[in-house]
Structure 1
Amino acid sequence: MLQKVSLDIEGMTCAACSARIEKVVGKMAGVREIAVNLPLGRAMVVIDSDSALKEQIITRIEQLGYSARKSKEKDKTQKIAFGLGTKLLISAFLTIPLLWAMVRHYTLTSSIWIPDLFLQPWFQWVLATPVQFVIGAPFYFNAWKALKSKSANMDVLVVLSTTCAYLYSHYMTMHMMHAGGSDPHAVYFETSAMIITVVLLGKWLEAAAKNRSMKTIHQLQSLSPQTAIIIGRENHQETILLSNVKVGDTLLILPGEIVPTDGRVLNGISSVDESFVTGESVPMGKRQHDRLIGGSLNIDGILTLQVTAVGSHTALNKMILLMEEAQGSKAEIARSVDRIAAVFVPVVLGLALLTLCIWSFWLSPGDFKGALFKAIAVLVIACPCALGLATPTSILVGTSRAMESGILFKEGKYVEQLEQIDVVLLDKTGTLTHGTPRVTDLITDSGQEHRLLRLFAAAEKGTEHPFAKAIVKEAVRRGLPVKDAVSSQVVAGMGVIAQVDKHHILIGSRTFMNHSEISIVKFAQATEQLEIEGKTVLFAAVDGAIAGIIALMDTLKSSTPQAIRRLKKLHTEIVMVTGDQRRTAQSIAARAGITTVYAEMLPQDKVDLVRTLQRKGKRVAMVGDGVNDAPALAAADIGIAVGTGAEIAKEAADVNLLHSDLGGVADAIVMSRKTMRNIRQNLLFAFMYNILAIPLAFMGYMAPWVAGTAMALSSVSVVANACRLQRASWRS
């Protein structure tokens, strides 16, 4: 049996770090899959069910020079951002005088006034030393850990470049102090200090962006109250800790209170605001038997709730877990980038050494100082920060923004896959329609209506299908007693077989009757007319003979036609697949604006259709909400479950809509396309930056401090571009 383990990892500084961890841990026995997310500092590992293996993985990561622990504590992004901000301010305060003094190096700025103290090499040495060895200490620790594990990362490049500049300047300062001279042009303390400062600036901006993106998770976590009012025996009320609430308990929810956990309404009528959980802004009316989601707000009525889920099993906690997993997983494009980044740092080290040798022994013999600083510029400019941040930062921001719109991606890779969709298959009941049909007609022999309705309601009692509930509801409305069936069996996608009062009852589709060899000719004319009217017809047989037909009507959601128009504008092929009769399906499809319809489809037929389209080279998305849709949701390239659907459908799907509006499908596709476009922009910028900048540094057109600034700004640009998704509109 497989299980997922989430680990928090500290000490990663670039894509080479995450790639190193993935490569080493991925080779361990029992590890099936690993995805390391650099911006989140988190790894999702799929392993064989072995408790000892978790500790072995943590130990192996620590041997590589990083710290790892199981993800339990609250996210520390705000604390990390604050710590980096403090270091950045101190570093900048010490670096600014060095930059001020640096203007004397250039002819155009040599006339700018500079305090004499700033020009003293010993004073620059005093300012640069704490930046290099106190503020910059983490770079040395991380570089040492990387070298110990026989790898190279961004810290190695930063340490090599800044240490070379610092030691050279320190040597020149000592030499001048011994000789009694003072030449500010001979030292480059501003280079080492500036590189460390701008790298810190990039890290602080990354942490700030991550902190903003994680606010959605923090807000979700804050939705659950700490206490709840429990109703005990003899209606005794007591306030207890939410952690002590158990499934089956009865809770009291007053107006203005947050619903503490998932459950169903036992008594009361109220409006409930589920906007933060589902994305739907209009409060939902709630009454007896309706579902309540933990974290929603009870507005104007008193409700009693029977608890159906607690702790990690609630919808809210599942959302938080899935969102964290989505942001921790990787798209295929990210894995490709990681493979490049894994060899990038060693190549850069080789290029820097080559630069030093070529300039020292060939292009500028004897000018070791000039060759050294050109090599330092190559080391700094080629840091793969922007490359490593390009994909995961966009996924992080994009999935957080989608969550705010009620769209939950189970894994980051589904963002990439959804963009490639060609065909969208749509279930009818509960997806295009409200999924709450009502009985409109019951046609049988004269005087037999009530008798047959009692039998049919007993057969359907306890069945979760919307049609079954509608039949039971109609019997109750007419004041008929509904007995329990002696036995009852659901035939997926076809109907129900039951034993009621010594009668053998079959209720279901035309196909069900044909398979059971029951003639329906007696009601053929009435059936045709009802189906022309857009009604769904169920056939009912008693003791092997057709006894009547039941017509039900499920109205189209008001948002469906507009959602279909939006999906068509996205150049996707729209297909309805339903187990309903052909005439009824075509009537609903016509009103929705769908031209391609597959009717009378069993669950296996839907799966076969998905596979047929895939064999033709199509990328298929399946949208559904029922138990009978689960196989097709799992078989499709992307399965999308509507929020009001069955739990098994949500489990089988790759994307969950937390609301019932079909427009969420279009929103999800637009979001995936904008996110992937954002990723490609980031990658293009990161690659072009290195392709253009490394030759300039090699040729000596870029001073080390300029290279450091450009490197940091490249990371800042990638993060800033990803953050644009925070304000993106998914409306096509």
Structure 2
Amino acid sequence: MNEQVSYQKINLQIEGMTCAACSARIEKVIGKMAGVHEIAVNLPMGSAALVLDAGTELKGEIIERIEKLGYSARSFEEASDSQPAIFGLGAKLVISALLTLPLLWAMVRHYTMTSSLWIPDLFLEPWFQWLLATPVQFAIGAPFYFNAWKAIKNKSANMDVLIVLSTTCAYLYSHYMTIHMLRSGGADPHAVYFETSAMIITAVLLGKWLEASAKERSMKTIHRLRRLSPQTVTIIRNEMQPEVISIKEVKIGDMLLILPGEVVPADGRVIRGRSAVDEAFITGESVPVEKRQYDRLIGGSVIRDEAITMQVTALGSQTALGKMIHLMEEAQGSKAEIGRYVDRIAAVFVPTVLVLALLTFCIWSLWLTPGDIKGALFKAIAVLVIACPCALGLATPTSILVGTSRALESGILFKEGKYVEQLQQIDIILMDKTGTLTHGTPRVTDVITDPGQEHRLLRLLAAAENGIEHPYAKAIVKEAVRRGLQVKETTSSQAITGLGVKARVDEHEILIGSRAFMNQAEISIQRFVPVTEQLEREGKTMLFAAVDGVPAGVIALMDTLKASTPQALRRLKKMGIIVVMVTGDHRKTANAIAERAGITTVYSEMLPQDKVHLVRTLQQKGKRVAMVGDGVNDAPALAAADIGIAVGTGSEIAKDAADVNLLHSDLGGVADAVVMSRKTMRNIRQNLIFALMYNVLAIPLAFMGLLTPWIAGTAMALSSVSVVTNASRLQKASWRN
């Protein structure tokens, strides 16, 4: 499921692609290069996501090969803003439309029903139509000729080839008839078809402009993320006067002063001060979070109350914000499996269309209407235009593009487009308890030990847990501080994943953890069992402690369900998904929490390897399994599951192992992600059905002469427009079911 360490990923921006045949051609050629493990070209994004063998320096060679195919390629970092490109495309569209409208006005004389409408005499002059159509054909349409020539040179055929063939045939025939009429002194507007070539080019430009606009709307989220980081910061050097410098000069370890209302420029931790911090755009949490000494700061968040001093721990692409942007670009550049099937169809579509057009011309000119070269030619042109697979190529990637952008706005980050497809197939979701179903910030409720030893035990355990990142460790340290106890620092603490902590404090060997940890150390906890049974029935978690190999006491902790948990689980069950709790906690504690959450199936006292085994057992039974977790101990199961989902408060290791990251801690995001996945895939299927039915129905009509070339061109462009418009509906889709 997840990429192996023997591979590296790169992303390229590609310009010049016009249809699915282009993207398929690039995938075919680059995919055969040595060292290229995988390539996915995204047509609407104009991008390529590549997986290469680790240690290879292939980027330059790949770019050179793509350029030899007739396209331009560069890294994402070098790619320019798309606004100027959209503006230029829009300007061409306006000019082309203005030149084409008089031709369409004159065209109404071709039809009996509209032949009585008033038309300026000038518009009916063939030489005037020639003047209007020529700049559309050869100036505005020049890129089509350029791209078609590059495609032919590389022994391939794409949409540009179809457009050039169809429009040039219509233009040259009309040009010939215009010259003939000028020489003979006649002027028959029915004899020329300049509106056909001009309308096809204008309609295609309209489709391209709408595609570019849809892409730009979907990319706005990434643009906003990029703009979150400030360009200048205030640095504090050796306690001297603060100095304003460029963000590019900042190094890891630098001390920065952040004033109220300013944006945190990088990831770091609070050194001095205390303030409410707004992390809404990063995590989706609407309420500002209180930050104090040693707390983590996320780049892009906003300081609200008081100034703080922070130490930089990560910069640029290594920050949480930078990683989010990178993952979002990868998700929109990657391809769902359903898109790969479409590409295989599109790769052979254009050559098939050329053959069909040639057959159409031959059948009509030689058999059905012998000698009617003009009629046969225009039927062949209609087939060329109507059969273009633009809509087919846009059907999948446009929906993935819009869907993943909309998901990110809701705080859901898909690492790759294929996970959108896989999530909607899930049968079972395994849920970790602590930090996933619950807040993950438990508090100590009881300290059970020998009379008069409560403070001594708590002081030893707090020292052992000091510096450990687990929520239980933090709760014990916090309780010791609350009671006014001095908490020592120790460098000998060792966290044993899924079991507990082993440390040495004041020459004492300290063990604190689960029953399994005590059993593994062969320490009997039998004398504490009676008093803990009632506490466990109340939903409290028991941590057993031993000092120098002797059982010393029990710490009881209570963690409460997140307010969103019961509703989120009800939504998942309503969608037909089975929800199961998997936790390392004792059975009684796990059952108490599960009862409150509404979960009936519980696996308790599960070590990390047990969770992985459960995932694989369910998969062997034919189930598609998702795992939701937040801790280091969940990472193996997150990686083993068909889909791993990490919640926003989780560890970096869990987030790296997962396929989907929730940027907040609200479990409703899991249900939202499933709904989003289902709606996106439904949208893709609608697009594919429309695109395929369009071609299946339209080609026979064009062959029978029931579609004129300009109508075929308009219908072809509108098919692409309809696909883009349908995909754009996801921008306003509600994920609440």
Deviation by residue 1:404-444 (Cα, 9 ceiling, x = unmatched): 11111101110000111111111111111111111111111
How many residue pairs align between the two structures? 732
Deviation by residue 1:361-415 (Cα, 9 ceiling, x = unmatched): 1111110100000000000001111000001111111111111111111011100
Residues 486 and 501, structure 1, Cα contact 8 Å, conserved in 2: no
In the alignment, does 2:261 pair up with 1:256?
A: yes
In the alignment, does 2:206 pair up with 1:197?
A: no
Residues 35 and 56, structure 2, Cα contact 8 Å, conserved in 1: no
SS at match of 1:700: coil
TM-score of the superposed pair, with normalisation by structure 1: 0.98
Where structure 1 has 5 or more consecutive residues not aligned to the other structure, the ranges are: none
In the alignment, does 2:416 pair up with 1:417?
A: no
Most deviating of 231-240 and 304-313:
231-240
Alignment match, 2:696 = 691
Residues 14 and 48, structure 2, Cα contact 8 Å, conserved in 1: yes
Most deviating of 160-169 and 243-252:
243-252
The two structures, once aligned, show a CA RMSD in angstroms of 1.2
Q: What is the alpha-carbon distance in structure 2 between the residues aligned to residue 136 and residue 604 of structure 1?
A: 62
CA displacement at 1:462 relative to structure 2: 2.0
Alignment match, 1:502 = 507
Q: What is the alpha-carbon distance in structure 2 between the residues aligned to residue 307 and residue 66 of structure 1?
A: 41
Residues 433 and 583, structure 2, Cα contact 8 Å, conserved in 1: yes
Q: What is the alpha-carbon distance in structure 2 between the residues aligned to residue 7 and residue 567 of structure 1?
A: 37
In the alignment, does 2:533 pair up with 1:528?
A: yes
Q: What is the alpha-carbon distance in structure 1 between the residues aligned to residue 644 and residue 577 of structure 2?
A: 15
Q: 1:604 aligns with which of 605, 609, 616?
A: 609
Most deviating of 432-441 and 390-399:
432-441
Residues 645 and 660, structure 2, Cα contact 8 Å, conserved in 1: yes
Change (3 A) 1:45 1:262: same
SS at match of 2:12: strand
Change (3 A) 1:486 1:173: closer
Q: 1:567 aligns with which of 566, 572, 575?
A: 572
Q: What is the alpha-carbon distance in structure 2 between the residues aligned to residue 696 and residue 389 of structure 1?
A: 23
Deviation by residue 1:193-242 (Cα, 9 ceiling, x = unmatched): 11001000100111111111111111111111111112222352111111
Q: 1:720 aligns with which of 717, 722, 725?
A: 725
CA displacement at 1:504 relative to structure 2: 2.3
SS at match of 1:589: helix
Alignment match, 2:712 = 707
Counterpart residue type for residue 709 of structure 1? T
Percent identity over the alignment?
78
Residues 575 and 596, structure 1, Cα contact 8 Å, conserved in 2: yes
CA displacement at 1:50 relative to structure 2: 4.6
Q: What is the alpha-carbon distance in structure 1 between the residues aligned to residue 214 and residue 467 of structure 2?
A: 50
SS at match of 2:102: helix
Q: 1:36 aligns with which of 32, 41, 50?
A: 41
Q: What is the alpha-carbon distance in structure 2 between the residues aligned to residue 366 and residue 74 of structure 1?
A: 53
In the alignment, does 2:679 pair up with 1:674?
A: yes
Change (3 A) 1:494 1:346: same
Q: What is the alpha-carbon distance in structure 1 between the residues aligned to residue 237 and residue 479 of structure 2?
A: 34
In the alignment, does 2:315 pair up with 1:310?
A: yes
Counterpart residue type for residue 299 of structure 1? R
Q: What is the alpha-carbon distance in structure 2 between the residues aligned to residue 688 and residue 322 of structure 1?
A: 35
Deviation by residue 1:501-551 (Cα, 9 ceiling, x = unmatched): 332222111111122221111111011011011110011112222111111
Q: What is the alpha-carbon distance in structure 2 between the residues aligned to residue 297 and residue 208 of structure 1?
A: 31
Alignment match, 1:360 = 365
In the alignment, does 2:641 pair up with 1:644?
A: no
CA displacement at 1:571 relative to structure 2: 1.2
Alignment match, 2:109 = 104
CA displacement at 1:562 relative to structure 2: 1.3
TM-score of the superposed pair, with normalisation by structure 2: 0.98
Where structure 2 has 5 or more consecutive residues not aligned to the other structure, the ranges are: 1-5
SS at match of 2:378: helix
Most deviating of 122-131 and 44-53:
44-53
Q: What is the alpha-carbon distance in structure 2 between the residues aligned to residue 363 and residue 369 of structure 1?
A: 13
Alignment match, 2:3 = none
Q: What is the alpha-carbon distance in structure 2 between the residues aligned to residue 261 and residue 505 of structure 1?
A: 38
Alignment match, 2:438 = 433
CA displacement at 1:51 relative to structure 2: 5.3
Alignment match, 2:163 = 158
Most deviating of 281-290 and 633-642:
281-290
Alignment match, 1:443 = 448
Q: 2:519 aligns with which of 514, 517, 525?
A: 514
CA displacement at 1:122 relative to structure 2: 1.2
Residues 243 and 311, structure 1, Cα contact 8 Å, conserved in 2: no
Within 5 Å, which residues of 2 pair with 1:124-139? 124-139=129-144
Q: What is the alpha-carbon distance in structure 2 between the residues aligned to residue 238 and residue 593 of structure 1?
A: 55
Q: What is the alpha-carbon distance in structure 1 between the residues aligned to residue 54 and residue 491 of structure 2?
A: 42
Deviation by residue 1:164-190 (Cα, 9 ceiling, x = unmatched): 101111111111222222211111111
Q: Which runs of 4+ in 1 moved over 3 A?
A: 49-52
SS at match of 2:290: strand
Q: What is the alpha-carbon distance in structure 1 between the residues aligned to residue 700 and residue 424 of structure 2?
A: 36
Most deviating of 352-361 and 510-519:
510-519
CA displacement at 1:49 relative to structure 2: 3.5
Most deviating of 47-56 and 397-406:
47-56
Within 5 Å, which residues of 2 pair with 1:240-639? 240-485=245-490, 487-639=492-644
Alignment match, 1:175 = 180
Residues 427 and 624, structure 1, Cα contact 8 Å, conserved in 2: yes
Counterpart residue type for residue 242 of structure 1? I
SS at match of 1:233: coil
